[in-house]
Amino acid sequence: MPQPIVAIIGRPNVGKSTLFNRLVGKRLALVDDRPGVTRDRREGDAHLLGLEFRVIDTAGYEDEDPVSLPGRMRAQTEAAVREADVALFLVDARAGLTPLDEEIARWLRSADTPVVLVANKAEGRAGEAGAIEAMALGFGDPILFSAEHGEGVVDLFEALLPFVEKPEGEAEEDPDAPDAPLKLAIVGRPNAGKSTLINKLLGQDRLITGPEAGITRDSIAIDWLWPDPEGEPRRVRLIDTAGMRKRARVQDKLEKLSVADALRAIDFAEVVVLLLDATKGLEVQDLKIADNVLQEGRALILAINKWDVAQDQSRLFNGIKAALEEGLAQARGVPLLTVSAYNGKGLDTLMKVAFETREAWSRRVSTGALNRWFERALEANPPPAPGGKRIKPRYVTQVKTRPPSFVLFGTRVDLLPESYRRYLVNGLRREFDFGAVPVRLTLRAPKNPFDRDRE
Ligand code: GDP
């Protein structure tokens, strides 16, 4: 496996070389100083708390004629970023942001390489203001670092970890890995058919695996292989709320219980299937559970059970769909399936949709693609100017997955009306196929001198 590559990017004098030397340490002897193509940069084998990677420092051009600097720098930055798995973008927390920092930020935003923002020279109070200012660059909260004093090393380690090779043995535990077991909970009112569904899923041709093989219904998690008819068997960890109920010995009334069960299951699950009863339709309590699932940021699927005995099926289906959309706006577009736990119909589709939904829920959009979409969205529907004051959204960045969470930066974006925020969220959903998984968008209008209207 080739070594992961980390590129150190930043304007002159922010401390790139000091960081490079820290990372490479005694291995400095291995630094490449070949003439020609690599003239403008140094490379070395870096070592950070057990992480090993190749580091590229783009510092070499700092002696260049300042007039040609931006152009040369851009070429350097772009070349280094292109080959890197992650870019460490260094700014100077003491000096504050400069136009060159902002220009580099613009280049980095249009690249597909992930960026870790580092506010260097952040030791002491003087660094704090600059670090806050750096948030406005759109790469999330900066790591407070001091290359000189060696502070912030653990934060840097944690930030780089997802992008560079993991220590052996950890891959299996990575919840982001597509082959990690799907954590699936089945919730719903009493008698919706949850137990029947789980039993059917685990039925004779289904294989129970893992250390908990042979478990009884008292267990909370059941490891199971779903024999995907379209491919390899896939790992599932079923969260069994019936088992949880016994264990918790909850004495509440049954109706309350299903909500309590659901809440506990939601804690464990990535994807939650809310089971409805075709003979009962959609009730207020179902909406309550659905709302909880979405508020907790979990991916939701609705399945109408007992479809084998459902009367007047298309009217029933459309009625439930309409009631759902009216009762819970956030649930619009949530997959609505029909199943029979009794005869097994629809269960393979349910599992297939569950895996697809988790994939969307875990998806990371590249910053480049995100901002290309963002510019089009602003152009198609420019933001309003409440009270004649112009709102200027600048860029958007994905700060988290599971669920996908974004932050929008710009001047006065905190004044954007809810309808506009919804417009952007819906656009994000459509453009990047998030379906109905919860998508979070936070608006941030940093109050700092670099946020004036300057374009
Ligand atoms: P739970 O309380 O949600 O776990 O519900 P159960 O699994 O105990 O099911 C409640 C009742 O509904 C039982 O009598 C089941 O036999 C019945 N049931 C469950 N699923 C189906 C189904 O798909 N079709 C039919 N016709 N009956 C079902």
Ligand 1 within 6 A of 17 CB?
A: no
**What is the chain's percent helix, strand, coil content, to nearest 5?**
45, 20, 35
Give the per-residue pLDDT at 231: 87
CATH of span 182-361: 3.40.50.300
Strands (E) across 265-333 are located at 271-277, 299-305
Helix axes 99-110, 367-380, angle to 10 degrees: 100
Per-residue pLDDT at 294 exceeds 50: yes
Q: Look at 92 and 199; give whichever has higher pLDDT.
A: 92
- The pLDDT value recorded for residue 238 is 85
Q: What was the pLDDT predicted at 322?
A: 95
pTM, full prediction:
0.61
pLDDT in tens, 375-397: 999 999 999 888 888 888 888 88
Return the residue whose CA atom lies nearest to atom 19 of ligand 1: 193
The whole-number pLDDT of residue 72 equals 66
Query: Do 5-164 and 367-454 show the same overall fold?
Result: no
Helices of type H across 97-151: 99-110, 126-134
Which residue has the CA at smallest separation from atom 14 of ligand 1? 191
CA 100 to ligand 1 centroid distance, Å: 65
341 lines ligand 1 (CB under 6 A): yes
Q: What does the pLDDT read at residue 50?
A: 64
The percentage of the chain sitting over the pLDDT mark of 70, rounded to a whole number, equals: 78
pLDDT category of residue 224 using cuts at 50, 70 and 90: confident
Tokens of 321: 């769909």
Q: Indicate the domain borders of the chain.
A: 5-164, 182-361, 367-454
Tokens coding 161: 């970890």
CA of 194 to the centre of ligand 1 (A): 7
Strand ranges across the sheet with 392-400: 392-400, 405-411, 440-444
**What are the CA-CA distances from residue 395 to residues 21, 309, 364, 367, 454 (Å)?**
33, 52, 16, 9, 15
Q: If you classify domain 367-454 with CATH, what class do you get? A: alpha beta
What separation, in Å, do the N-terminal and C-terminal C-alpha atoms of the chain show? 44
Kindly give the distance from the C-alpha atom of residue 45 to the centroid of ligand 1, in angstroms, as a whole number: 61
Q: Is there an atom of ligand 1 within 6 Å of 342 CB?
A: yes
Average of per-residue pLDDT across 227-251 = 68
How far is the centre of ligand 1, averaged over its atoms, from the C-alpha of 186 (Å)? 13
CATH superfamily of 5-164: P-loop containing nucleotide triphosphate hydrolases (3.40.50.300)
Of 225-239, 247-261, 268-282, give the lowest mean pLDDT range: 247-261
The tens digit of pLDDT for each residue in 156-179 reads 877 887 788 544 433 334 556 667
